[in-house]
Amino acid sequence: EMVPVHAACALLSLAPLLVLGVPPIWTQPEQVHLSYPGVPGSMVVTWTTFNKTESKVEYGLLGGRLFEMSAKGDATLFVDWGEEKRKMFIHRVSLTGLKPAASYAYHCGSDVGWSDVFFFTALNDSTSFSPRFALYGDLGNENPQSLARLQKETQLGMYDVILHIGELHMDRSDNARIGDEFMRQIQSIAAYVPYMTCPGNHEATYNFSNYRNRFSMPGNTESLWYSWNLGSAHIISLSTEVYFYLEFGLELLFKQYEWLRKDLEEANKPENRAVRPWIITMGHRPMYCSDDDQDDCTTFDSKVRLGRNETQPPAPGLEDLFYRYGVDLELWAHEHTYERLWPVYSDKVCNGSKEQPYVNPKAPVHIITGSAGCRERTDRFNPNPKDWSAFRSTDYGYTRMQVVNASHLYLEQVSDDEYGKVIDSIWVVKDKHGFSAWF
């Protein structure tokens, strides 16, 4: 077992001779994870050490000569705001010029400590690529129910990308040790496939400082909101938390809204929507849900959906914006359950047809997938859901998604309680995309 840092320090001061054989763990890389910076042929490797070291990644094609290439990056000092003011160094190295769909082995660190050897497959940059995703929110480190199955499936190569839709359990922070523990835990997934995130309410401690410093998402917004493309999809990650933590300033809410509007406008230019017809959003707190817990989404006038009228100026919600720009699919978490909605807008069901609700739907499709497992267990449902609720489950589990081509997208829900059984699945089929598709 690793010696805790404070114990190691005590040993050092007491008996210099004893510790000569013990590797200095504060220069040892940990919490290794990958993210996709949105640029074809690239990948970012992020890791943590507790002492300042160089930031190097050595890598090579899988099956070729190990570590024949190397890349350097830099480390940022992050001081947790808790009373111990714990220091850590967050290292980031960009790998560029990767061959699409080729697999690489790599390790990261420096001459005073290297990580294990991991491998990844560079993302295919073709618009005809059919990427496969695992998605979930609310996977905490005390009860990470679905983790083992996800670890194995990731290592089997079943996923190209993981989407973690908020609640990365960076609070209750014990001076950021909970965050360390969580990051160590997901390394067994996140060091092998790009791990794309968005902030949730459990990241709010000290104004999201742990989240903003530990992750490396595209764009220059400290991972709070960003977008990227893969296959025939344009994927937008956003912060629903700007609607709730007003003490961190209203300007963030307006800044994000403006950014979303511009991003959606750009994605809807005919030449862009033609090659990336699917627009998919991910945010932590849903606009709709039928849970029985008095959360924002259980109220008719959810803040994420309709905004906040009491602020000066009034803050716009996201439903109209997403509808106006023809968002196809909205992924949410926060509720510790799985719920699939019929296509819905303005609290009304807008099915494609009675027989085939998801063929040419007349409004965005919402999926809530927040039951991967965390300390709060799963939530209860309201016994009388509204008409837009199509399927619900309180089983622990996660969602798989494949953006198959320009017209077909597949979603399925895996129950961990039922040993990996698929308990729900849909095909969303669209002959056309965009605002005009609703009519």
The more confidently predicted of residues 148 and 174 is 148
Query: pLDDT tens digit string along 240-296?
Result: 999 999 988 899 999 999 999 999 999 999 999 999 999 999 999 999 999 989 999
Q: What is the pLDDT of residue 79?
A: 92
pLDDT classification of 207: cutoffs 50, 70, 90: confident
Neighbour-count burial of 251, counting CB atoms closer than 10 A to its CB (0-12 exposed, 13-18 middle, 19+ buried): exposed
CATH number of domain containing 61:
2.60.40.380
Asked whether residue 349 falls in the same domain as residue 252, the answer is yes
DSSP E strand boundaries for 115-185: 118-121, 132-136, 161-164
Asked whether residue 355 falls in the same domain as residue 386, the answer is yes
pLDDT at 384 over 50: yes
pLDDT at 19 over 50: no
Containing structural domain, residue 432: 127-437
Q: Does 5 map to a domain?
A: no
- Mean pLDDT over residues 33-57, rounded? 97
pLDDT classification of 206: cutoffs 50, 70, 90: confident
pLDDT at 13 over 50: no
Contact 327, 264 (CB under 8 A): yes
Asked whether residue 49 falls in the same domain as residue 161, the answer is no
Q: Which of 420, 322, 423 is nearest to 366 (CA)?
A: 322
Q: Which of 63, 89, 121 is the last residue of a domain?
A: 121
The more confidently predicted of residues 435 and 83 is 435
pLDDT at 94 over 50: yes
Asked whether residue 165 falls in the same domain as residue 56, the answer is no
CATH number of domain containing 361:
3.60.21.10
pLDDT at 8 over 90: no
Asked whether residue 157 falls in the same domain as residue 242, the answer is yes
Q: Does 234 map to a domain?
A: yes
DSSP three-state, residue 29 = coil
pLDDT at 396 over 70: yes
Q: What is the pLDDT of residue 178?
A: 84
> What percent of the chain is modeled with pLDDT above 90?
80
DSSP three-state, residue 279 = strand
Between vectors from CA 345 to CA 339 and to CA 351, what angle results, nearest 5°? Answer: 75
Q: Does 421 map to a domain?
A: yes
Of 103-112, 193-202, 305-314, 366-375, the range with the lowest mean pLDDT is: 366-375
Q: What is the pLDDT of residue 329?
A: 98
Q: Which of 82, 105, 121 is the last residue of a domain?
A: 121
> Residues 185, 186, 190, 192: is their CA dihedral positive or negative?
positive
Asked whether residue 132 falls in the same domain as residue 62, the answer is no
Asked whether residue 141 falls in the same domain as residue 109, the answer is no
Q: Does 10 map to a domain?
A: no
Q: Which of 121, 143, 159 is the last residue of a domain?
A: 121
Q: What is the pLDDT of residue 6?
A: 56
Q: How many domains does the chain have?
A: 2
Contacts of residue 225, defined as CB under 8 A and 6 or more positions apart, other chains included, come to: 198, 219, 236, 237, 238, 239, 256, 259, 260
Q: Does 17 map to a domain?
A: no
Q: What is the pLDDT of residue 309?
A: 93
Asked whether residue 338 falls in the same domain as residue 316, the answer is yes
Phi and psi dihedrals of 434, rounded to 5? 110, 175
Asked whether residue 84 falls in the same domain as residue 59, the answer is yes
Contacts of residue 41, defined as CB under 8 A and 6 or more positions apart, other chains included, come to: 96, 97, 98, 99, 100, 122, 125
DSSP 8-state symbol, 247: G
Q: What is the pLDDT of residue 65?
A: 96
Other beta carbons within 10 Å of 350: 18
DSSP E strand boundaries for 173-274: 195-197, 226-230, 233-237
pLDDT classification of 4: cutoffs 50, 70, 90: low
pLDDT at 23 over 70: no
Asked whether residue 266 falls in the same domain as residue 117, the answer is no
Q: What is the pLDDT of residue 75?
A: 98
What does the alpha-carbon distance between residue 321 and residue 304 come to, in Å, rounded to a whole number? 11
Asked whether residue 152 falls in the same domain as residue 253, the answer is yes
Q: Does 315 map to a domain?
A: yes
> What percent of the chain is modeled with pLDDT above 70?
91
The more confidently predicted of residues 406 and 17 is 406
pLDDT at 356 over 60: yes
Q: What is the pLDDT of residue 145?
A: 77
Q: Does 138 map to a domain?
A: yes
pLDDT classification of 22: cutoffs 50, 70, 90: low
Q: Does 76 map to a domain?
A: yes
Asked whether residue 270 falls in the same domain as residue 297, the answer is yes
Q: What is the pLDDT of residue 338?
A: 96
